[in-house]
Amino acid sequence: MQINGDYHIHTNYCPHGSSDRMEEYVQAAIKKGLNAISFTEHAPLPPSFTDPVPKKDSAMRLEDVESYISEGNKLKEQYKDKLKINIGFEVDYIKGFEAETMEFLNQFGEEIDDAILSVHMLQTSDNSYVCLDYSVEAFSEIITLFGSVDAVYQAYFQTVASSINADLGPFKPTRIGHINLVEKFSKQYPPINNYEKEIIKLLHLVKQRNYTLDANTAGLYKEFCKKMYPPKNIMETANELGIALIPGSDSHTAKTVTRGFDNYPSTIILANPHK
């Protein structure tokens, strides 16, 4: 099917990404024939939250938000005849930090066009936090911390459920990011149980709230994952339930805009929000 937009794109405002500038993504998108993109930079983590990754580079800095939005707005105007540009965030849902997350959303919600809500951080039993998708080595430490691979999966899916149910105010993102991100290292650390039922439960929560799903191709290119977020069978269920699947490459470089879009299963209907 013809896909008109890539709705999950990062920028140089993300400290763990590349230095490719927003305009390079815009030009790449135009070259690829897209009609629309969404910049969804990692929103700053809550001020009182300590980023658990070594370089503390999981998200953009709060002091950069205004320039991110204004650079995006300039491009929006400059390229308005060629490309619909949405400015937005990929917002972390962090259990226990809902109030600060809501505060951020209330501050910037009116200035943005699009947003994704994602779980990357898991709370441990001693109330510290780990970043789920940082590296395969870190994932192995997380398994030790939680006791088993399956315990990590359970904690992850519970946290995603909390994210869907959370009250984050009127600007809460309504698209759930990479709903099976916990599978990023599954070829190295496979769980014993199958979590399809858990994911389908999450889809029902998504449906109840009329939210949408990130149909994210990035997992295809992760050494220990090699599948999309979510995989085909879950996309099919989403289609059956009438949940919109929004295509996104999760690009952190301009050259990967639309990467993997040829690999969406031909039976799946993707939404073309063209927001």
Per-residue 3-state assignment (H helix, E strand, C coil) for 221-247:
HCCCCCCCECCHHHHHHHHHHCCCEEE
Residue with Cβ nearer Zn ion (33 or 54):
54
Residue with Cβ nearer Zn ion (118 or 217):
118
Burial 18-31, CB ≥16 within 10 A → b, else e = bebebebbbbbbee
Minimum distance from CB of 87 to Zn ion (Å)? Answer: 17
Residues 213, 246 contacting (CB under 8 angstroms): yes
Residue 163 found at the interface with Zn ion (CB under 5 A): no
Residue with Cβ nearer Zn ion (91 or 155):
91
Minimum distance from CB of 267 to Zn ion (Å)? Answer: 26
Please give the residues from 95 up to 154 whose contact with Zn ion meets the rule CB under 5 A.
Answer: 118
Q: Report the residue number whose CB is nearest to Zn ion.
A: 118
Count of residues in contact with Zn ion, rule CB under 5 A: 1
Residue with Cβ nearer Zn ion (61 or 80):
61
Please give the residues from 25 up to 64 whose contact with Zn ion meets the rule CB under 5 A.
Answer: none
**Residue among 154, 234, 248, 243 at smallest CA distance from 199:** 234
Residues 9, 114 contacting (CB under 8 angstroms): no
Residue with Cβ nearer Zn ion (80 or 226):
226
Minimum distance from CB of 125 to Zn ion (Å)? Answer: 24
Footprint of Zn ion (CB under 5 A): 118
